Amino acid sequence: MSDYIARVFDPEAPPSHPLDSLTPGEIRTAATAVRAQASDGKDLLFSLMLLEEPPRGDDRLLESPPRERRIRVVTLNQSSRHTEEWTVVVPSGQVVGHEDLTAQGITAQPPIIVDEFMDVERIVKESPDWQAAVRRRGVEDFELIQVDPMSGGNFGFENEKGLRIIRAVSYLARNKEDNAYAHPIDGMVTYVDLTNMRVLAVVDDEVFPIPQEDSNFHDDNGISPRLDLKPLEIHQPEGPSFKVDGWEVSWQKWSFRVSMNAREGMVLHDIVYDDEGTKRSILSRAAFAEMVVPYGDPRPSHFWRSAFDVGEYGLGALANSLTLGCDCLGSIYYFDTYMCDGQGEPYTLERSICLHEEDFGVLWRGANWRYGGNWVRRTRRLVISFWATVGNYDYGFFWYFYQDGTIECEVKLTGIIQTAYLAPGDYSPYLGRVAPELAGQHHQHMFCVRLDPAVDGPLNSVVEVDAVPVPMGPENPHGNAIRKVTTVVERESQGRRDTNLGSARTWQIINEAQSNDFGSPVAFKLSPAQTAMMIADADSSVARRATFAKTAVWVTRYSPDERFPSGDYPNLSSGGDGLVSWMKQDRELHQQPIVVWHSFGTTHFARPEDWPVMPVERIGFMLKPFGFFRRNPALDVPTPESKDSCH
């Protein structure tokens, strides 16, 4: 049994806090103001609207409700193809900032707009060159061909300079419900120039047969479900233990605020733990700042694939409406959120954020084997999550809060892999076979989370911690000694840090102004995801644009303008923006307002079990208290009181 609890308050109500998600009224006001100010407001496509959050420590954060807020609006002029930035104050609708980036010679390209997806399919299918390439593969009927627009990257091609480029790949669907990725029209790719709304080129590399085997995976395509799975009901007869007040959540000594924006998706703010009556801050902000999916197939029709799903598309804009009992199970609280479409109109993402709690096994256990006695507590965790569909892949972004003060972040990856033709019996070093004529390209999914620490206050430092063996000798005659070696990250020139499995490397975010009972600085430990970093060559286009994915941990000085690790405009950028640029300032990091960026990912060699739909793969990291509390903070968790309790 699942219980639908509630959704967020009146969508037309004004914001109650400076960090609340944008409201439909604010979106309308900002769009109206920009159209009125623009030379031809009817020609604008709205690519992005983001709340300009007050900087950390700003007095405006204390205003509830806020007197005014600022919205950053990014538009694309359909006639001039200029990219423009606007700053609008709401609710007044006053435009207080405007820059025509294109007129200034800045080659910024805003994120891809859903309206452009429709344009791409039309432009591609009208192209005589595309039609000829498809006919060479034996296809005459174009109606059911699925054209997937994908971000194009920047490879320095002379004929693409200054243009808004998308590359399009094609698949032959059998019908509207068919899994078209089973039938790639491989060996060709279409380069689309959105600046001039035309096909720039059709790269027709090699003519392959179109795979014929159907690979549908849902029950209305003839899949017979198992008949031996008994119901599993999750029911909280007294309701959940969490409370929601607008966008603020409190549960089991934790409290935080949540918001959603078009680029990062779900954002967590002001994460606090109530330690025996004292509200202790841990994080000021946490969000997925960027992700990239670099593909490892070097052939002409595939080499360019490397989507930046945050900066080129927007996780929030592509978020799903979740389904009770499927995406979320239990007593669920859903948040509705609101986005801006390409015409500047607000639309509702119903049930886009899911909040619930779940049992997670044993919290702690102790036994007295001499005299008897067995003490067990079960752990419960709070789960807040959202899902985004980016083309063929689905990503779930989950944050877990535990009763012992631990925070966990997890990404769940599923969906349909990108496919290519592979003849039966053939081998390719860049492909993994999934079906008789079908393969998936080797690729990676690389994520970057931005963490704004506030461990017992706004000024923190980062210490790298390694477990180092002591050489055998007089000090260590039996060779078993382990020494803890710490390295303080003093400046940004030292701020790029790699994982080391051999030394069990972790990082501690410390506050030297606050000591625990034993004289050590209070700390939270970052236990990283132990994964390979981006494999692509450092001089490759994707590595220049996504340098964040080459290093596991980056530490920078906090600046409200430094939000995205590949810069504000990764779409078609040549690289060098974001983290690598900011760190050249070599700012001091010791007991300062800092940002910790954690990059992690998974390397995907496609396997038959990933086809036709990929089972969920999980990857993530943990933040654990380390000398932050005086003892185990979960000693007061009560024994279970259900009829099945071990007590």
Annotated catalytic residue: which of 295, 334, 393, 400?
393
For tokens 């959704």, name the residue: 7
Secondary structure string (H, E, C) spanning 497-516: ECCCHHHCCEEEEEEEEEEC
Q: Of 147, 181, 178, 145, which is closest to residue 606 (Cα–Cα)?
A: 181
Of 178, 309, 456, 577, which residue is the catalytic one?
A: 309
Q: Token digits for 402?
A: 């535990």
181 labelled catalytic: no
What pLDDT does residue 1 have? 45
395 is catalytic: no
Beta pairing partners, 261: 265
- On the question of pLDDT at 2 being above 60, the answer is no
pLDDT in the model for residue 321? 95
**Coil, strand, or helix at residue 343?**
coil
Query: Does the pLDDT at position 642 exceed 70?
Result: no
Q: Taking the mean position of all CA atoms in its chain, how far away is CA 401?
A: 18
Rounded to whole angstroms, the Cα distance separating 73 from 87 reads: 6
pLDDT digits (tens, 9 = 90+) for 435-448: 999 999 999 999 99
The dihedral region occupied by 276, where left means phi > 0, alpha psi between -120 and 50, and beta the remainder, is left
The pLDDT assigned to 645 comes to: 54
> Is a pLDDT exceeding 80 seen at residue 614?
yes
Confidence at 454, pLDDT banded by 50, 70, 90:
very high
**pLDDT at residue 324, as a whole number:** 85
Q: Which residues contact 521 (CB under 8 A, 6 or more apart)?
A: 510, 511, 512, 514, 515, 627
C-alpha–C-alpha distance, residues 241 and 254, integer Å: 11
Peptide bond into 453 cis (omega under 30): no
For residue 24, cis peptide bond before it (omega within 30 degrees of 0): no
Per residue in 384-403, pLDDT tens? 999 999 999 999 999 999 99
Instruction: Give all domains of the chain, ordered by start, each with its CATH number.
Output: 3-100 (3.10.450.40), 114-221 (3.10.450.40), 249-458+531-625 (2.70.98.20)
pLDDT tens for 524-571 read 999 998 888 999 999 999 999 999 999 999 999 999 999 999 999 999
H helix or E strand, kind and range, residue 413: strand 407-415
Tokens linked to 161: 């300079």
| Residues contacting residue 467 through CB under 8 Å, at least 6 positions apart | 482, 483, 484, 485, 503, 504
Across 191-219, average pLDDT? 93
Per the CB < 8 A criterion, the answer to whether 442 and 428 are in contact is: no
| Percent of all residues in the chain with a pLDDT value above 70, rounded to a whole number | 97
pLDDT at 358 over 90: yes
Instruction: Tell me the Cα Rg of the chain.
Output: 26
pTM of the predicted model as reported, rounded to 2 decimal places: 0.96
Residue 221, pLDDT > 70, answer no
